[in-house]
Structure 1
């Protein structure tokens, strides 16, 4: 087994176990058992469990953000005032890159579960890692949303985008369950692209709703 093969097996196993059990509940021994490697291999290639968690996120986020940045720049070049729908459409297209014609889109679903865990489980080192490595891409994306509606305050953008993230994480991390429910209820079974094509207008409409709110409002 080459070093590249070892790294891939460790990352694949860690990714699956973190998504299934959570970060705290997954031990390095569980990962090495599933990957069929020894603990020394994990320590050699990653150093610690924290570094391994960060590597799992980096494997998806680094190529994703690089492509997203390029695609958004192209959109803004052609349309200096993109709508929420335009920006979210680029996001969806980037997420679907490489899986449009591939039924095995499990990795996207797994990553969305991991993203949900990053919000719900205390992982201070992960938040620091994401800020240090991806804050520029995140800020640029938020900037494009602000271009679409400059009248919205930073707080309104913050909450709207996180409501949208919540809906996206739920939908994409539970995609197989939802597709099965759809088939039972309606007799149809949408492809991931069809689901994304319905999700984007829904999120755009929510982001573009005119009613503002006061987060300090009291009842």
Structure 2
């Protein structure tokens, strides 16, 4: 088995198991058994469980950030500093579709992992993400703050996390929510349609109103 194939099998298995069971609850032996590799392969390629967790996140964050970076560049070339909040959020959410290109259900899986990153103690993961992808985050936040210049910094911070929470819950639970919609209203919604509906909802969470600048 080629080294690259071994790494892919380990990361793929870890992504599925971590998203289903959690980080602490998933042992390396379970991952290696699922990936059909020996435990020494994990130690050789990753060195530790923390590094493996980081590799799983890189699997999703790299294509997402590359797509977002390209989209933001195109927006700046077309609009300069006149980029609207709607355009930025459209860019953000449609960049998520780059994750789906790697397989069905990958966005949902990534959202579950992202939720776990906040609910389980993974301080190393936040440091890793900021070190490797912080430039994309900083660039997006800077453009977002220009599009919403009157926002109080604390309100802006919390509204970002309200948006993140809504996104993580909706997309990580997409199949269940979709099933309820089908049962109650006999209607279907695709993932792409759900993302289109998320954009105005997110805009409502971020948009400046009369209370946003109050101390």
User: In structure 1, how many angstroms separate the alpha carbons of the residues matched to 2:157 and 2:118?
Assistant: 15
Please tell me whether residue 186 in structure 1 is matched to residue 151 in structure 2. Answer: no
TM-fit CA distance, 1:76: 2.2
Alpha carbons 1:88, 1:204 under 8 Å: kept = yes
Alignment length (residue pairs): 214
1:97 partner SS: helix
**Equivalence for 1:91:** 92
Matched, 1:81 2:63: no
Given that 1:19 and 1:113 are in contact with CA atoms closer than 8 Å, whether structure 2 keeps it comes out as yes
Displacement of 1:141: 0.8
* Superposed displacement of residue 213, structure 1: 5.2
Structure 1 runs (4+) deviating above 6 angstroms are none
The offset of 1:214, in angstroms, is: 8.3
- 1:13-38 CA distance string (max 9 Å, x none): 10111111111111101101111110
Q: What does residue 21 of structure 1 align with?
A: 21
8 Å Cα contact 1:156/1:212 also seen in 2: no
1:175 correspondence with 2:178 = no
- Segments of 5+ residues of structure 1 without an aligned counterpart are none
In the TM superposition, 1:95-174 aligns within 5 A as 95-97=96-98, 99=100, 105-174=104-173
Corresponding residue SS for 2:151? coil
CA displacement 1:62-91 (0-9 Å, x = unmatched): 221122112112112212222221101011
Contact 1:65-1:137 within 8 A present in 2 as well: yes
Aligned-partner Cα distance in 2 for 1:211–1:129: 37
Report what 1:204 is aligned to.
Answer: 203
What is the CA distance between 1:4 and its match in structure 2? 1.6
- Counterpart Cα distance in 2 of 1:214 and 1:191: 37
SS of match in other structure, 2:24: coil
Q: Distance in 2 between matches of 1:109 and 1:20?
A: 11
Q: How far apart in 2 are the matches of 1:49 and 1:186?
A: 44
Local SS of the residue matching 1:185:
helix
Deviation at 1:155, TM superposition (A): 1.9
